[in-house]
Amino acid sequence: MNFPNTLSLIRILLAPVFLYLFVSGSDTMVAASFAVFTIAALTDWYDGWYARKYGFKTRWGQFIDPLADKILTSAAFIGFYLLKKNDPSFLGTSEPVPVVVLIAIIIFRDIVLTTVRSIQELRGREFRTSMISKTKTFIQMTYIFLLLGLISAAALTGGTPAGESIITYLHSQINYYILLLITLLTAASGIAYIFEQDSVKN
């Protein structure tokens, strides 16, 4: 296994470590979970750069790299769901569509379709990432980093005016609607992928 693929494997292994720290209930460990997630996310950037620079692009890398990304982001969304379960005010109190449903849609699409697509790439088929998927990924990662950073800051500054301000924002309804937007983009990119498959078959 080459170096970039090893980094992808490390990213997969860091996902449960992140989730364990995030749901631990300890303010220090919650803050540490943000550091773990950040390190894991940086391995994604670095393994891609390293593979391109030194020519380590492999079929196995094409499979494991995107799957590792989705496992990591899925761990973050599971963490958000568990936090919402313990603190109903997190992400706002109004849920036209339950948060658990939105997160389930995101995880299902990301894991299942990424796996299917990666397997097909292993067999030699090339794909181009759609603009919808790129937009979804950008908003999704920005959202995750923002929430994790704020949750970490709130854990470290709890009881202070700054900490209370952060908690107020985390309880803001806008966070729910951003999650809803991410879910819609996720579903749209999944539908686009299905149509892409149909057009190839025809």
Quick one: pLDDT at residue 26? 94
pLDDT digit string, tens, across residues 137-192:
889 999 999 999 999 999 999 889 999 999 999 999 999 999 999 999 999 888 88
How far is C-alpha 77 from the chain's CA centre? 7
Nearest CA to 105 among 174, 188, 195, 194?
188
What is the C-alpha to C-alpha distance for residues 100 and 69, in angstroms, rounded to an integer?
Answer: 21
Looking at residue 172, the DSSP 8-state letter turns out to be -
pLDDT digit string, tens, across residues 3-19:
888 999 999 999 999 99
CATH of domain 3-195: 1.20.120
pLDDT band at 114 (very low <50, low <70, confident <90, very high): confident
The residue ranges of every structural domain in the chain are 3-195
Q: Mean pLDDT of all residues in the chain?
A: 88
Please check whether residue 150 is in contact with residue 164, taking contact to mean a CB–CB distance below 8 angstroms. Answer: no
Taking each continuous run of H as one helix and of E as one strand, the counts in the chain are 7, 0
Above 70 in pLDDT, residue 135?
yes
Above 80 in pLDDT, residue 200?
no
Count CB-CB contacts under 10 A for residue 198: 9
CA dihedral (80, 86, 89, 94) positive or negative: positive
pTM for the model stands at: 0.90
SS3 67: helix
Contacts of residue 17, defined as CB under 8 A and 6 or more positions apart, other chains included, come to: 36
Quick one: pLDDT at residue 94? 94
What average pLDDT score do residues 34-62 get? Answer: 84
